A = this chain, B = another copy of it.
Amino acid sequence: MEKNMRPLLLLSNDDGVNAKGINELIRTLRPMADLIVVAPDGPRSGFSGAITSEHPLRCTKVKEEEGLTVYQCNGTPVDCVKLALHTLVPRTPDLVLGGINHGDNSSVNVHYSGTMGVVIEGCLKSIPSIGFSLCNHDTDADFSPLLPYVNRIVEEVLKMGLPEGTCLNVNFPDLPQFAGVRICRQTKGVWTNEFAQATHPNGRNYYWMTGNYVNQEPESEDTDHWAMDHGYIAITPTQIDVTAYKLKKEMETWNFNL
């Protein structure tokens, strides 16, 4: 970043440009940085790293003020980041931020999260990237207890950087105050009972996705779920290399000859 230049932050999310979470993120970061927001034009929760190749993408500028430009886009969260970096940003952003998500993205939820899709895309483009999520799905959730920590984490990452190929998944418990910040690993967990069945008036069955999350290691104190269950803000350092190196070594002795 050039001397005397304010940081430029690219913001996106998966709840859509009008969600409270991203607007709270804008509000808290505006004093410290120039912001460009490129977010979906409606809800894209659970869109993971999805990209759109079969339909044309459109972007519309919906706000331009000193230090803040907002676009909405008809694509996925990852499309928003890609399109922003390809064509909308005035220079490479200093950070890519996802959120603040309405709902928890810890544990295995990282694999479904559109918020983390944003963050992983920023990371794939070699930009330090952070996802923020609050463990509360309400459209009018209270984000105010988080905001000082969001600013602090952004400041610290602007100062320290992040190693190539890594990003941060930050999850806040839904509390008025926090016991502190813990650096965590991804909890082992599983979703069960994932569908509710219903019957259409025409007689055909259909299904709504729902489910119960089961923490498979509730006693492990180094996990993101343990941290949140005990009142801490959970920061889970995350990487884009998903190679299973231990299995790679084991499999070198396997035989795949025909």
In the complex this chain forms, how many copies of it are found? 2
A236 interfacial contact with B, CB 8 Å: yes
- A231-258 to B contact mask, C-beta < 8 Å, 1/0: 0010111111111111110111011111
If A48-B117, A108-B240, A195-B57 touch, whether A125 touches B245 (CB-CB below 8 Å) is no
CB of A28, distance to nearest CB on chain B (Å): 13
User: Restricting to A201-257, which residues have a CB under 8 Å from any CB of B?
Assistant: 204-209, 233, 235-248, 250-252, 254-257
- Bound-complex Cα distance A52 to B186 (A): 23
Q: Write 23 A-B pairs (CB below 8 A) sorted by A numbering.
A: A46-B52, A47-B48, A48-B48, A49-B49, A50-B50, A51-B209, A56-B198, A57-B207, A58-B205, A59-B205, A82-B209, A86-B193, A87-B207, A111-B120, A125-B190, A149-B256, A156-B254, A183-B252, A185-B241, A186-B241, A237-B243, A238-B243, A239-B243
User: With contacts A50-B112, A156-B254, A165-B188 known, what are 14 further pairs, Cβ within 8 A?
Assistant: A46-B51, A46-B52, A46-B53, A50-B76, A51-B112, A56-B207, A57-B208, A82-B195, A111-B124, A160-B254, A166-B247, A188-B241, A235-B251, A236-B243
